[in-house]
Amino acid sequence: MENKEIILMQRYELGRLLGQGTFAKVYYARNLKTGMGVAIKVIDKEKILKVGMIEQIKREISVMRLVRHPHVVELYEVMASKTKIYFVIEYAKGGELFSKVAKGKLKEDVARRYFQQLISAVDYCHSRGVYHRDLKPENLLLDENGNLKVSDFGLSALAECKRQDGLLHTTCGTPAYVAPEVINRKGYDGSKADIWSCGVVLFVLLAGYLPFHDSNLMEMYRKIGKGEFKFPNWFGPEVRRLLSKILDSNPSTRISMTKIMDNSWFRKGLDPKRRDIHSEGKEPAPLDADEVFRPNENNCSATESKQELARPCNLNAFDIISFSAGFDLSGLFEETDQKKEVRFTSDKPASTIISKLEDIAKRLRLKVKKKDGGLLKMEGSKAGRKGLLGINAEIFEIAPLFHLVEMKKSSGDTLEYQKMLKQDIRPALKDIVWTWQGEQQQQQQQEVGQQEQQVASPSNP
């Protein structure tokens, strides 16, 4: 590539590599017609098809078509070949905002300016029904004039991705920037979660370090869940009050975008006559998305879109952490002992697990209803036992032949449910269960304790 000119689609001259990830590489390029510099994200089709990321790519295209704003990286066009997908996007010459923060905290006026531009962009996204869900300095770029540009909408969600409860349910983002209700896995308001992340970004810009940080991931999540952080002594009273309202661990009382933009600290340096700092987005340019993928009206993520009946949901890293017994954070969010679920892993295909559960339900005279995303509802009463009992069984795909199944009581008597689980369900599942969660928890905790002792006494053989 050093001495050979590469012309892409007879439109762009490809230049130096700007960065790369697992599924894509980003190059600097020049538009042959206009001479304008752009960035081109080259995505390997085969790789994304193998890992089931096609819906994520569709969603990213749909989102970037919706959000044309001065402080959002613009998507100019989408092209495709047999093996590659090409996103032609705005080139942010100033690089990541993270590189500035990595050198130390920013001056208050500088940090405020970036925060104003971030809020303007995110508020505009929310007005178009788009929730970013991964806001952090690494995803905030700077143009040649030092203006902020929000990028990387790969984890974003559209308003139609909400479930019937009006909430989003996919746990995603970057741990140190994620809102407590996202970790909770009970459903969350995408705008409130983005507001929390904006608050973490502001804290980082002003402090030069994270408000919630710990080498132990579980301890960090506990701090996030309880909203435990300390202000540096150089933070003034105004910004302390604002951040306390943004980093409120209760989303129902967390400050709104409107109130942030009305805040006296926030409005410093803005035109006092202008109450709305919202910059209107440009009209979306026509894209060649239909040539990349077949038209699909639903651009939600795999865990939020309508799936074929009983197809299991995919688990991401956040889900696996939150399902792990050692990282059970339910106590942070539940006032009473509401935890009535049990989980097991299996190395059998999802169809085998479903058939087994259906056989058990039939023997127990429970009616089975299959729902979207690998959810089975079993309801009825076993002969000789009183009362109607409801049990939900949800199947999650960790790998093609490795699944996690969560079973929990949805209605009925808890003691009756526990009795049925112990006497009827668990024995019947014996031939498909790899391991039940909790049985090895004590052993794992003992092993962790031993490791901690060894770390504390390194000379101990």
pLDDT tens, residue order, the chain (461 aa): 444 568 888 899 999 998 887 778 899 999 999 999 999 999 988 888 877 777 778 878 888 888 889 999 999 999 988 889 999 999 999 989 999 998 899 999 999 999 999 999 999 999 988 888 889 999 999 999 999 999 988 766 665 565 655 666 555 667 889 999 988 767 888 899 999 999 999 999 999 999 998 888 888 888 998 889 999 999 999 999 999 999 999 999 999 999 999 999 999 998 665 544 444 444 444 444 445 544 333 333 333 333 333 445 555 444 444 454 444 444 444 443 444 678 888 888 888 888 899 899 888 888 888 765 567 888 886 544 556 788 988 887 766 667 888 888 888 888 888 888 889 999 999 999 888 865 544 444 454 455 445 544 444 44
**What tokens does 264 get?**
């006296």
Cβ atoms of 377 and 355 within 8 Å: the answer is no
Rounded Cα gap, residues 180 and 196, in angstroms: 9
Residue 3 half-sphere exposure toward CB, CA atoms < 13 A: 0
Residues 6+ apart with CB under 8 A from 377: 368, 369, 371, 390, 391, 392, 410
**What tokens does 339 get?**
């935890």
The pLDDT score that the predictor gives to residue 440 is 46
Residue 82 gets which letter from DSSP? S
- Short-list 50, 23, 46, CA closest to 314: 50
Read out DSSP for 153-215? -TT-EEGGG--TTS-B----S-GGG--HHHHHTS-B-HHHHHHHHHHHHHHHHHHSS-SS--S
pTM over 0.75: no
- Strands 313-314 and 389-399 turn out to be parallel
The pLDDT score that the predictor gives to residue 442 is 44
What sign does the dihedral 358-364-367-371 (CA atoms) show?
negative
List the helix and strand counts (H, then E) for the chain: 17, 18
Q: Which domains does the chain have, with CATH numbers?
A: 6-91 (3.30.200.20), 95-267 (1.10.510.10), 313-443 (3.30.310.80)
The pLDDT score that the predictor gives to residue 326 is 44
Cβ atoms of 31 and 10 within 8 Å: the answer is no
What are the residue numbers of the active site? 134
